[in-house]
Structure 1
Amino acid sequence: MSLKQKITDDMKAAMRTGDTRQRDTIRLLQAAIKQKEVDDRQELDDAAIIAVIEKMLKQRRDSIDQYEAAERRDLAAAEKEEVNILSVYMPKGLADEEIEALVAEAISAVDAKGMQDMGKVMAILKSNVAGRADMGKVSAIVKAKISG
């Protein structure tokens, strides 16, 4: 079953059970997917849908930080619920050891000698770890390995 179909099925289930938070979050996700399809003029595959979900998760995490800084725990809790709902559609995350192994592989693949090769390494890693690891964390690991 495609990711898009799973999202649609979950939407129907949320409507049947009356779970308004899940229903509304999935509607936002479906709208974001549809908007991306209209913008790109093509139907999105699972990888592109994961990219949309990643963007939505990042927005929610940023909102949580801002709400907590403003001591709006009610709004932060609502955003956390949305993060939990959206996280279901993400692939299983990579362990730190797996990330480090992929980084080492990418560095040797491009024969990276220094920071000037970081872009090439990150380009390889982006396709391998998309949706399965925080790219900021991956970038920090690459920097440490290349410069060290």
Structure 2
Amino acid sequence: MLRDTIKTETVTAMKAKDKDRTAALRLIGAKIKDRDIELRTSDKKPDDDAMVIEVLQKMAKQRRESIEMYEQGGRTELAEQEKGELAVIEEFLPQTLSEEETRAAIEQVKADVGAEGMKDMGKVMAELKSRHGAQLDMSKASGLVKASLS
């Protein structure tokens, strides 16, 4: 399980006295615990690895946005710190599909659901997320689906 791997890596980083990696891994652990607490009252409990991947994807997206803003603001030291955290987060994320693979997946889903126009975008996106959710950047995929359907 991904959760156990993260815990093991945290202990390894602490033993190696790698402060930056330990801090990033502890941050990941804290976000996962926050999500666990949120889900206590939920009726539907997602698969544990799927939930951890969802948390990691959200964290990665936040880091990318922060890096962009810090670089625009001339705060390179903060951007570098965020890049370090992003590298640790990305270690645990599944490999994302390339643009060609994403386009192929979109075409396959379009054919499977019989999508013909923009009115079918929701169906295509839902099916795409269910099949490839952990491997796709859904914001990029959304733009590709929109271009494909128009």
Q: Normalising by the residue count of structure 2, what TM-score does the alignment of the two structures yield?
A: 0.92
Query: What corresponds to 1:96 in structure 2?
Result: 99
Query: What corresponds to 1:56 in structure 2?
Result: 59
CA distance in 1, matches of 2:17, 2:28: 18
Q: 1:88-113, CA deviations, whole angstroms, 9 ceiling, x for partnerless residues? A: 00011212222112101111122112
Higher mean alpha-carbon deviation, 103-112 vs 82-91, is at 103-112
Query: What corresponds to 1:15 in structure 2?
Result: 14
CA distance in 2, matches of 1:18, 1:104: 48
Give SS of 2:8's match.
helix
Structure 1: where are the runs of 5+ without partners?
none
Query: What corresponds to 1:120 in structure 2?
Result: 123
Higher mean alpha-carbon deviation, 133-142 vs 69-78, is at 133-142
- Runs (4+) of structure 1 exceeding 4 A deviation are none
Query: What corresponds to 1:72 in structure 2?
Result: 75
Q: Give me the identity figure in percent.
A: 40
Contact 2:96 2:137 in 1 (8 A): no
Higher mean alpha-carbon deviation, 72-81 vs 38-47, is at 38-47
CA distance in 2, matches of 1:122, 1:67: 32
CA distance in 1, matches of 2:105, 2:71: 35
Query: What corresponds to 1:36 in structure 2?
Result: 35
CA RMSD of aligned residues (A): 1.3
Give SS of 2:61's match.
helix
Q: Normalising by the residue count of structure 1, what TM-score does the alignment of the two structures yield?
A: 0.93
Match of 1:138 among 119, 137, 141: 141
Instruction: State the number of aligned residues.
Output: 146
CA distance in 1, matches of 2:80, 2:131: 32
Give how far 1:34 is off.
0.7
Structure 2: where are the runs of 5+ without partners?
none
